[in-house]
Structure 1
Amino acid sequence: MVLSSFHVGQRIMMRRHLLFVLFLVLGAGSFQQSLRAVSFTTLAEAQEYAAQFPEYVNPDNNDWLRPDFASFHRENRPGALRRFASWFGVAYPVWDARKFKTLLKSLVTSRERDELQGEFAEQYKPGKGDKLVIWGDLFGGFHSLVRDLAFLHEQGIINKQFKIVKPNYIFIFNGNVIDGSPYVLETLTLVLRILSENHSRVFYIRGHHEEKERWHNFELEQELKVRARHISREAIPLDNLLVRFFDTLPIALYVTHDTPEEIQALLIANNEAVIEKFGGTEATHFLSGDETRGFFTLSDKKKSKKKKIKVKAYITSEDRSVNYHKTEGLSILSAAGGTSTWLVFSSPTERSQKLYQFQYDAFARVAVNNGIDTWTISLFNQRVGGFDGFQESAMYNLVSGWPTKKKDQLKEKELYIGSTMDLSKGASPIGKRVKEGLELAFDKEHTLNTVPGFVPELATRDDEYTPIKTRTVVEQMIKDGITMFIGSQGSPSLESYLDLIRDGKVLVLFPFTGAPIFRKPDLKYLIHYRGSYIREGEELVQYAIKDLKAKKIAIFYQDDAFGKGALEGARKVLKTAGITKFLEVPHERNVVNYKKEAAKIRDFNPDTILFSTNALAIRGLIRQMGVQYFAGKNLLGLSVYEDAFERFLKDKGLTFTLIRMVPDPQTSDLPIAKEYRAWAGKLNISYDKVSFEQFINANILFEILRSIEGPVTKEKIIERAEQMKNYPFKGLFLDFNPETRELSRNLWLDTGKGEWIVKGTQKEAVKPPGKKLEAKKEPTPEGPFKVATLTDFTKGTKTLGRAVQAGIE
């Protein structure tokens, strides 16, 4: 058969077409290799991808609230043109949908196996020295996240495979990782890779945009329909897997610090609605101080916990459709109920630059110290465009919000000061206020750093107001290297280690006791701020005789060093006044039945009762005898009662005349009182006489430490304290008495009828002679001035309300 030239040409063309098709098929493997399909298994792979594609892409529309990048995604899909280019050695990195699906499915399987599903919160209990690296809304900021990770790699925190190699680092992505950019899938893939490599050390919190009602209408849905349609038949490719994955993300994270009386927490959540749901005490029954990591839901019915939860700070994101605070990555909102609320933002995408003028690679870092009140939060950022390198731009106290010094400026040497108090038994209401006042002052010092060369640290221990346990606790603290104590509570407790004080093994400053046995000139290693119980008994009985016209006085006292002090003072005044008809009624410590004591008082029928005992005993006697018995009688009490007990008396309709060792913390114009109110208000601590006294005590210690040059020793502290003669200190006047080793000569009588009556021998101060010890002015924080406003944040006019808030701030 002879073929025409036309048929020959047609066959040749057909063969060429077949060869071309075969070439395409055979070239597919080399195409995939040359395009290097990626799922970001290494930092270098992510960096190369970021370098290949432009950070800023023009959208198809002009709506930066909901930009459309469909054309960009279609243009960059693997196609014939890119395949042809690959044959000539032109390589393109390509995000791989199949590898993404494999990674996603693996995480879904493992997280569902761990029962991480639904509406739940996680708990993490960090150790001292832990660092929490926290990203706010990323909104698809792939290029920025890659730069963040490169910086963390340079710091030795992660390796090239995104493994966190420093053992004390935790990563937290606080939601809204997706949407808002042309690189949503790349950003999500990178976060999933980090999560996969560090299962127990990365938290990904669910944000608004991780809810399917949200992402189904934004850029993630758009990208999936263009870039993953070839691997899924669903209307939205990979919809089921993504919904299941996002359902395994917690909606909040509690970072907790366990104390003897409560669980303190930093609550991290993406939005205010979650904070309102999980931020209250309803979480009390689910948090545990025993596990490093755990999770719970509000519907859980786990065993209840006795401890209350106290959220000390929040980290969240802002609903920028309602309100926006200009930021460089970290900002603080007005404290809600005194709790600092921090905003972290990490998305310098073109959308964020145009809508919010935000131009920083940014993340926050929380540094965990001894107690949550000493934790700090820092901002790390760099301005995009200039890329001058990341800086630790700011550091603040996490709870108070006060600026503090950066790590390279902090003093390296810690000076530990111990304190023992009852935090769990009958005297715990006082012990907790002692601890609160000390911690408030130490928190102030940690923020302002006024003591040169040292960081004073407070170490508190619960001794249950039991002498045997106090002795054990103190001996252990000595073994731990702590030989200086402050504010220690209770006469019996202090007496248990009086021999250690006599021998100079420990220095005790300003203990919360007025017992006479501790006020002797030979007790060199014991210094007091407050006056003795003898003085308290004297002043109360003098007032009763002179002003209240008392005729028959009963003294109900605890039969130990604590209770006998005021008894001794009362006896002196009664003897001087020639009054012989009075009744002494002792009781043992920590008893609950006062039937015998009540009978004695009824038989005597006094018009005045002096209580030289603790609040628990007074409550017990009132229960035994009935409130009505005490109505109309003159009731006198010492300086050791907390505000809660005084409210109890008021609720019962009983009026006490009480001794105060400090001026009124709520109304005093003294600088130390104003300072106390400022810091207490910042931390949402109610004003209280006991905590105010401890705040004063700790600040006196810091005043002494500021005057010491070289190493701090017990002997140097004693020397400086003994030099305080008519010494002006923030409105107070300190006058060391070598016979009683007390610094304060004044006390106040609170009759319950208005302004307190000052009692004391010192009426005006004399400046200290020479330069033995000069009062130094410490840095004063700006403000805080408290201004209140009422507006709507949650109902129909919340948009206007938030605008009002923004304008005021």
Structure 2
Amino acid sequence: MTLLLLAWMAFPCVPARADTSRELTFGMSAAFTGANGELGIEFYRGFMAYIDHFNAVGGANGWTIKVIPANDGYNPAPCFQNTIRFIDHDDVFALFSYVGTPTTTHILPLLQKFEDRNIFLLFPFTGAQPLRTEPFGKYVYNLRASYFDETRGLVDRLVAIGRKRIGVFYQSDAYGRTGWDGVHRALERHGLLLSGEAAYRRGASFSQDFSSEVALLMESDPEAIIVVGTYASQAAFIRDARNAGYKAPIAGLSFADSDKMLELLMTEGNRVHRDYTKNLINSQVVPSYTDLSLPGVRLYRKIMDGYHYEPVAQNDDYTPRKFSYVSFEGFLNGVVLGEMITRMSDDPMKTRIPEVLASIKDFDLGIGVKADFSRNGHQGLDAVYFTTVIDGLFQAVENWEQWR
């Protein structure tokens, strides 16, 4: 376990007390309301739990962190407006922990436009390629693995157990198309093609009827289906596919918020007296928050236990999750942001962000793999984890042979 983690665990969880004259401000645009509101809330809760803790113990050489959250409802236009305000009005030190591909890719030209002001986007909650390639990749630093990493991992494992006819159900926007492309590329490596595909419009709720999309996919007789969607759409698709008699594995990506998706399926299953939780697989970009053998998990759980969430949006009646994959990823974002500030605490300047992040090599987050931004691509981690429903939670897959 790193000395850094040991040091933080020695301090109690207390409210932050920041000297605003030595406060670095970051801007976050995300959905805090609507069909995907839990994504923004849980992500925000995760990193703010750590940041409040970081501030409470004095920050870095007296420098503390402030994050301004802004609701975009998972829509590109409000995200664009929020970003303009962060840059022109709030003069943020950097953009931080944006949520979603369609929203985040929409603001990438702004990073190029304001290049002379050294505006960088740090650790967004998306695995999309435009944030990792030219011309915009140089302005973005990603902590998480990409959607190409996740889809390749799923396809490789499904093919290895003999499931070669793989279909895809995806959101019809930049997020869904990136995932579709990832599945297509991964299949090509095995000399295979998609067995079938169907798409849906962004913003679908759990009440959406996807029976026609299910029927379309069933025509291709898929041996597995990969869903590139959000928690509500993925849960609705699984419900309708199971109701239509499809029993083969259905897999999803980390962005789907498997905790919320499972809650929706279990609630519906209890209502109609049916089990919708069998043969589900979800890739994750952080290890299971139930794995107490990992010091990073233990630290996350300790700090989350003492964190009090202050609602971001008006009329927010959301009941926070005790732990979740989304908040754990946000928490790790906070740890790396704190490390960045610590390394530049002698003289924090926007121009130093690339140099300081490049110095983060083999940084131990306590999760079994180390973050490394010294490589090309501005991506600190590339590990992908695979989970399935065990005892009412998405936990690590113990044996893929169960789906052969």
SS at structure 1 position matched to 2:354: helix
**Higher RCO (CA < 8 A, seq sep 6+):** 2
Number of the residue aligned with 1:538: 152
How far is 1:484 from its partner? 1.0
User: Are 2:363 and 2:371, in contact at CA under 8 Å, matched by a contact in 1?
Assistant: yes
* Other structure's SS at 2:233 match: helix
Q: How far did 1:519 drift?
A: 0.6
Q: How is 1:245-644 mapped onto 2 (pairs within 5 angstroms)?
A: 402=13, 412-478=21-87, 479-503=89-113, 504=115, 505=117, 506-520=119-133, 522=135, 523-547=137-161, 549-580=162-193, 582-591=195-204, 592=208, 594=210, 596-622=212-238, 625=240, 627-629=242-244, 631-642=246-257, 643-644=259-260
Q: Deviations over 1:213-239 (max 9, x none)?
A: xxxxxxxxxxxxxxxxxxxxxxxxxxx
Cα distance 1:737–1:707, how it changes in 2: closer, same or farther (>3 A)? Answer: closer
Structure 2 residue aligned with 1:246: none
Query: Tell me, what secondary structure is at the counterpart of 1:424?
Result: coil
Whole-Å separation in 1 of the counterparts to 2:336 and 2:366: 10
- Correspondence 1:704-723 to 2 at 5 A: 704-723=340-359
**Deviation string, structure 1 residues 511-540 (Cα, Å, up to 9, x no partner):** 000011111155222100011111111111
Q: Closer, same or farther in 2 for the Cα pair 1:472/1:725, shift >3 Å?
A: same
Q: Which residue matches 1:645? A: 261
Q: Does 1:672 align with 2:282?
A: no
Contact 2:16–2:52 under 8 Å retained in 1: no
Q: 1:734-759: CA deviations, max 9, x gaps?
A: 1226443200021211134596269x
Gap change, CA 1:600 and 1:679, over 3 Å in 2: same
In structure 1, what residue type is equivalent to 2:338?
A: F
* 510 and 404 in structure 1: CA distance in 2 versus 1, 3 angstrom threshold: closer
Name the SS of the counterpart of 2:384 in structure 1. Answer: strand
Distance 1:576 1:406 in 2: 53
1:451–1:411: structure 2 CA closer, same or farther, 3 Å change rule? farther
Q: Which amino acid aligns with 2:98?
A: S
Distance in 2, Cα, partners of 1:483 & 1:502:
16
Whole-Å separation in 1 of the counterparts to 2:245 and 2:290: 28
Q: Which secondary structure state, in structure 1, belongs to the residue aligned with residue 254 of structure 2?
A: coil
Taking a change above 3 Å as real, the CA distance of residues 564 and 626 of structure 1, as seen in their structure-2 partners, is closer
Residues 129, 178 of structure 2: 8 Å contact kept? yes
Structure 1 residue 736 corresponds to structure 2 residue 366: no
Match of 1:301 in 2: none
Residue 496 of structure 1 deviates from its aligned partner by 1.7
* CA-CA distance at 1:460 after TM superposition: 0.5
Q: Compute the displacement of 1:582 (Å).
A: 1.1
2:159 and 2:49 map into 1 onto residues whose CA distance is 39
Give CA-to-partner distance per residue, 1:441-475, whole Å, 9 cap, x none. 12111221231132211111111111001111111
Say which is worse superposed, 655-664 or 560-569, in terms of deviation.
560-569
Whether 1:703 aligns to 2:312 is no
Q: Retained in 2: the 8 A contact 1:705–1:717?
A: no
- Tell me, in whole angstroms, the C-alpha distance in 2 between the residues paired with 1:622 and 1:756: 20
Q: TM-score, normalised by structure 1?
A: 0.41
Does the CA contact (< 8 Å) of 2:234 and 2:261 recur in 1?
A: no
Q: What is the distance in 1 between the residues matched to 2:282 and 2:170?
A: 15
Distance in 2, matches of 1:418 and 1:657, equals 33
Secondary structure at the counterpart of residue 673 of structure 1: helix
- Counterpart of 2:219 in 1: which secondary structure? helix
Q: Tell me the alpha carbon deviations over residues 160-184 of structure 1, each in whole angstroms, 9 at most, x when there is no partner.
A: xxxxxxxxxxxxxxxxxxxxxxxxx
Identity %: 22
Separation in 2, partners of 1:673, 1:750: 16
SS of 1:415's partner is strand
Contact 1:671 1:730 in 2 (8 A): yes
Higher helix share: 2
In structure 2, the CA distance between the partners of 1:553 and 1:564, relative to structure 1 (3 Å rule), is: same
Which amino acid in structure 1 is aligned with residue 112 of structure 2?
Answer: R
Give secondary structure in 1 for the equivalent of 2:59: coil
The secondary structure found in structure 2 opposite 1:555 is strand
Q: Equivalences for 1:23-172 in 2 at 5 Å?
A: none
Whole-angstrom CA distance in 2 between matches of 1:441 and 1:464: 24
In 2, the alpha carbon distance for the partners of 1:619 and 1:752 equals 14
Distance in 1 separating the partners of 2:250 and 2:63: 46
Pick the structure with greater CA Rg: 1
Matched residue type, 1:700: V
Computed over aligned residues only, the root mean square deviation of the Cα atoms, in angstroms, reads: 2.6
**1:726 matched to which residue of 2?**
362
Equivalent-residue separation in structure 1 for 2:217 and 2:148 (angstroms): 22
CA change 1:480–1:630 in 2 (3 A) is farther
**What is the Cα deviation at residue 428 of structure 1?**
0.6
Shift of 1:481: 1.6
| Cα offset, 1:580, TM superposition | 3.3
Contact 1:553/1:582, CA 8 A, preserved across alignment: yes
- Match of 1:452, SS? coil
Aligned-partner Cα distance in 2 for 1:451–1:472: 31
> Whole-Å Cα distance in 2 between the matches of residues 531 and 437 of structure 1?
18
Q: Is the 8 A contact 1:665 1:692 kept in 2?
A: yes
In 2, the alpha carbon distance for the partners of 1:438 and 1:568 equals 30
Structure 2 equivalent of residue 691 of structure 1: 327
Write the distance in 1 (CA, Å) between the matches of 2:281 and 2:357.
32
Paired amino acid for 1:560: D
Amino acid at match of 2:331: F
Shift of 1:691: 0.3
Further displaced range: 717-726 or 526-535? 717-726
Change (3 A) 1:406 1:581: closer
Offset at residue 630 of structure 1 (A): 5.6
Distance in 2 between residues matched to 1:565 and 1:465, nearest whole Å:
17
- 1:51-83, Cα deviation, whole Å (9 max, x unpaired): xxxxxxxxxxxxxxxxxxxxxxxxxxxxxxxxx
Distance in 2, Cα, partners of 1:734 & 1:581: 33
Task: Name the CA distance, whole Å, in 1 between partners of 2:395 and 2:230.
Answer: 25
